[in-house]
Structure formats: C-alpha cells, structure tokens
Amino acid sequence: MTDSILLFKFVLAIVTFAISLGVAAYATYGERKIAGLFQDRLGPNNAGPWGLLQPLADGGKMFFKEDFIPAASEKFLFILAPGIAMFTALMTSAIIPWTSPILISGALYQVQVADIDIGILYSLGFVSIGVYGIMIGGWASNNKYSLMGAIRASSQMISYELAMGLALLAVIMMSGSLSLNDIVAAQKGSFLGFLPNWNVFKQPVGFLIFLICAFAETNRAPFDLPECETELVGGYHTEYSSMKLGLFLFSEYINMFISSAIIATVYFGGYNLPLIGRFVTDPNALAAIGFAVFFAKILFFIFFYMWIRWTLPRFRYDQLMHLGWKSLIPIAIINLLVTGAVLILKDYL
C-alpha cells in the first residue's frame, strides 16, 4: 500500500469518526424534535436558533455532572464498560462503502476505511462484541437492577443475532460474496425491467427479518427491555453518571446510525441511484451524488427508528423471546431454503 493510499485512509478514518459522532449527537436532537411532532409540542427550542445547540448543551451537562462510582462496584470493569460499548459501535463503521471511488491526481480511491473480503462477518462480529460493554457494565455495578438489564441485553442480542445472520445468508448466497462492496455492486441496474435492482425487492422477507433484528440489536423500542425504566429503574446503566452514562447513550445512537447504513448498503443499493450513470460520467460528481443518495437513505432509516419508538409500546420479555425464537428464526430458515431452491432452479433453467 502506497503512502498516498495510507494518508487517504487515515484522513477517511478521521472523517468517518467525526461523521459518526456528529450524526449521533444530532440524532438526539432529531429524536426529541420528532417526539415533539408526534406529541403536538415543540421539542428543544431554547439552546440556539430552533434549539440547534441542544446537543452541545447536553454534552456540556454530561461532562460537568458529578462522576459517581459506587463503592461496592468492580471499579476497573465499571470504568471499562462504556468504552467497550463506544469502541465497538465506532469500529463497525470501518467497512461501510460510503460512495463510489473518487479520482485524486489520476488515481481512484475507494471511499471505505477497510475494504475486507469478509465485511459482513466483521460487522456481525463487532455487533456480538458490543454486548460485552453492556454485560460488564451491568455486572460491575453490583446492582440487581443493572444486572437484570445486562442479562436481558445479552439474551436478547444472542437470540436476534441468529435470525439476523440467517437473513444475511440469503443475501450472501445471491451476491456470492461477503464483501459489502460486492453486495453493493450486485445491486446495480434494474430488476424486472422497472424496479431498482435492490435486494429489498428480491429479499422482502429477509429485509423485514433483518429490520426487526436491527431494532433488537440496537436496544431500540419496542425492544428496549435492557433499560426498561418501569421495571429496572434505568436498566444496565442505572449506576452510571456523567460522561460514562453519556458514552452508553451515545453508543446507542451510533449503533442506530451504523445499522441504518448497513440496511441501506445490503438491501437498498448503498450509494447506487438508478439511471444516474447515464447522465453523469465524472467519477467525482458520481461520488458526490452517491454519497448524498446514501446519506439520504441512512437518514430515512434513522427517522424510521424514531418513528417506531414513539408509535409502538414496549414488548413484554416473554413476547420478545417468543418473537425471536419461535417466529423470526423459523421464517428466516424457510426464507434461506427458498432462496437456495430459486438459485438452483436458475442454474438449471
């Protein structure tokens, strides 16, 4: 790898990090505005024009609050847990292809921090590790409510990862690759002559399963049982305060942003926009349009996350487990078998 590529990747990593943090910060503002819209009120409107400085006010409040560590806690693990949650949330963004390659000094550069052949496995791996931050935080707090929330989080994420993996397997079978770049490339063109060649039209059941599992994996309502305030005070982060609590809350919004990006990449063509290649040929212009298109898809799914949160009530825990094990996993297995049968028939016909 040449020095110019290394420099480009380094700058891209910093930009990706900044975008993830910026989107997560303003997702908190957006969520309260959307909640206000649904509940016929204004939402944040005092900190700056239209309340746009509210995320800065929230960050300042978190930084300057008293940092309390319970005397009976496992202090090292108690401090480590929010960092694990934040680290795993941010690392998943490394394999997202943000747009088509850009042209710099006659050379094409892939706008992706790490173009690895097993991108899907990488993302699933870091999602699986993310539960350790919640589990360690709940256990190290030495609080029964926190421990109960941590146990709920771990069992919930394990349950829904199975269905999510099975849904992704169907897409992997169709594209023939674990690389997100290859999955995006396979979604160019049209489907049935009039639809975009996006996996959502070829895998509607798989998409629905993946979407439901994404809600559960990010602990978003109606799957927010790990932090169910009506039963567990505050759930796994009951004993946390100051910026440690802020890191837990922030990691949830980063996970929401990254999961929206993966949904857009795997099922909605990523940065592809049908027919745009016929009108724009400059690679940098295509990259700019592709990034705008991709970001619009991400913002739509972030809005969808918030829409669901302020519309549907929380599940009971037995309902959550029933949905994961007795409904989604069997449907995902059937969808996988049907996908395999269709692919075999296509090869013989």
Q: For residue 103, tell me if it sits in a domain.
A: yes
Asked if residue 50 belongs to a domain, the reply is: no
Structural contact between residues 92 and 123, judged by C-beta atoms closer than 8 angstroms? yes
Greater confidence (279 vs 306) lies with: 306
Please give the structure tokens belonging to residue 116.
């690895």
For residue 219, the model assigns a pLDDT of 84
Domains contained in the chain, number: 1
The reply to whether 41 falls in a domain is no
In a domain, 241, yes or no: yes
- Mind listing the pLDDT tens digit for each residue in 106-150? 788 888 998 888 888 898 888 888 888 888 988 999 888 888 888
pLDDT at 279 over 80: no
Q: Is residue 115 part of a domain?
A: yes
Q: Rounded mean pLDDT of the chain?
A: 88
Average pLDDT for residues 2-14, to the nearest whole number?
Answer: 86
Residue 23: what pLDDT?
A: 92
Q: What number of helices (H) and strands (E) belong to the chain?
A: 14, 4
Domain that holds residue 86: 63-348
Asked whether residue 17 is domain-assigned, the answer is: no
Mean local confidence (pLDDT), 2-27? 88
Terminal C-alpha separation, the chain:
44
Percentage of the chain lying above the pLDDT 70 cut? 99
Q: Judge whether 211 lies within some domain.
A: yes
Q: Could you give the residue ranges of the DSSP H alpha helices within 141-282?
A: 144-175, 180-185, 199-202, 204-217, 229-232, 242-267, 276-279
Residue 46 lies in a domain: no
Q: What pLDDT score was predicted for residue 295?
A: 94
Task: Find the mean pLDDT for residues 293-312.
Answer: 93
Whether residue 1 is predicted with pLDDT greater than 70 in this model: the reply is no
More confident position, 234 or 293: 293
Write the burial class of residue 242 (CB in 10 Å: 0-12 exposed, 13-18 middle, 19+ buried).
middle
Residue 233 or residue 197, greater confidence: 197
